[in-house]
Amino acid sequence: MADNESSEDELRQQIEELEEALASQVQARIAAEDAVKSLGEQLAKAERKATPGDGPSTIVSPDLAHAALTDPNSGLFTEDFFRVTVDARIAAARRHLRPVAIALVDVVSGIPGDPEPADTEVVGQSLIETLRDSDTAAQLGDGRYALVLEDTPENGAIWTVERVRRHLAQEQGDLTLWAGIACYPAHAFDGAELLRQADEALTGAREWHQDRIEVAHADS
């Protein structure tokens, strides 16, 4: 009898964990959709302001808004979308007491020697194929890549970036990946500070002439 009750308790716990994981993914999708909607509305306002005189207003379709938020070369989201997503994910994580990881990634070819930026299409495709649907990958204006990893602590973030590194190595062997990771709430409690610490960690990783993943320090 006791064994049956124990099995039932374990089953209930597994069901609850699955329900929590599903709820987390739903929240992530809602946050991303809200971010797209917000930026789409901003694009629409900008279009209306650009319309001279009393001419007809311009309506921005969801497909056009999505295209405006996506880098055409890498297929990843833009920096504007990334920054909005960081704030939305941290706000959701704060409400649900869940971790979020930020990773800044730089991928080059030609190390050692004079490195050159890696093919953005190759990197973008590797990120898309490696990351989960609940994660967000973007290309920043300076050529680096930025990741928001939903419900992911430090160890999980390291493993995720390592999987990206291995995928890239299979696609193109002469690439070098540097990454800086910072996590909420372990390293900071807001998006700006998380990005600062991830940037510092990436700077430390770039001091190595080989693949390197650095994690921010809690006392930074």
List, in sequence order, every residue forming a beta bridge with 102; answer none if it has no partner.
Answer: 148, 182
**pLDDT tens digit sequence for 68-92:** 688 888 999 999 999 999 999 999 9
DSSP-derived 3-state class of residue 178: strand
- Whether 92 contacts 31, CB under 8 Å: yes
Q: Is residue 210 part of a domain?
A: yes
The C-alpha R_g of the chain, in whole angstroms, comes to 20
Q: Is residue 125 part of a domain?
A: yes
Q: Is residue 220 part of a domain?
A: no
Residue entry with tokens 């124990």: 6
| Residue 156 reports pLDDT greater than 90 | yes
Last residue of a domain, one of 13, 37, 62: 62
pTM metric for this prediction? 0.71
Last residue of a domain, one of 62, 79, 108: 62
CA distance 94 to 101: 13
* Mean pLDDT, rounded, of the chain: 81
The CATH code of the domain that includes 115 is 3.30.70.270
Last residue of a domain, one of 62, 88, 107: 62
| Residue 53 reports pLDDT greater than 80 | no
Which of the two residues, 159 and 46, has the higher pLDDT score?
Answer: 159
Q: Is residue 174 part of a domain?
A: yes
Residue-range definition of the domain harbouring residue 34: 2-62
Cis peptide before 62 (omega within 30 of 0): no
Q: Which range, 47-51, 52-56, 171-175, has the best average confidence (pLDDT)?
A: 171-175
The domain tally of the chain equals 2
List, in sequence order, every residue forming a beta bridge with 137; answer none if it has no partner.
Answer: 147
